[in-house]
Amino acid sequence: MTDIIYKDEVYNIIGAAFQVYNELGAGFLESVYEEALTIELEENSIPYKTQVKLPVYYKGRLLQKEFFADLIIYDKIIVELKCVEKITTANEAQLLNYLKAINLKLGLLINFGNPEKLEWKRLIHT
């Protein structure tokens, strides 16, 4: 049997996201969910950083274009927030590129935009 990477940490993060979704529902901007999620993380003593600058290199040269991860939680999980009807492969590709850029293994894509349910996905960078 394969161990699930960062199982407890993911459980805590998704639990905090459900708290936010249950309180706010769908329909707000991404920035609202990000701020609300940081409140949940603080209340649960979960360490996080917001809007973390991600360096991107091409042929060993740092590009001037800047990208930012919505959150890095526990110093090892990138969390990308969305407010869309449904998670797309483009959303997944964005998160995988972020993981590659800073060499982290696990990312969570959390979508607050679906009016029927909180949608989330684990993505692994190998």
Residue 2 lies in a domain: no
pLDDT digits (tens, 9 = 90+) for 106-123: 999 999 999 999 999 999
Domain assignment present for 1? no
Q: Provide the residue-wise pLDDT of the chain in tens; the chain has 126 residues.
A: 568 899 999 999 999 999 999 999 999 999 999 999 999 999 999 999 999 998 888 899 999 988 899 999 999 999 999 999 999 999 999 999 999 988 899 999 999 999 999 999 999 998
Asked, for residue 120, whether it belongs to a domain, the answer is yes
Task: Summarize pLDDT for 24-40 with one digit per residue, the tens.
Answer: 999 999 999 999 999 99
| Number of domains the chain contains | 1
CATH number of 64's domain:
3.90.320.10
**Where in the sequence is the domain holding 28, given as residue range(s)?**
7-124
Long-range contacts from 22-30, C-beta under 8 angstroms, 24+ separation: 24/112, 25/115, 26/83, 26/112, 26/113, 26/114, 26/115, 27/113, 27/115, 28/83, 28/112, 29/83, 30/70, 30/81, 30/82, 30/83, 30/112
Does 18 fall in a domain?
Answer: yes
Residue 116 is assigned to a structural domain of this protein: yes
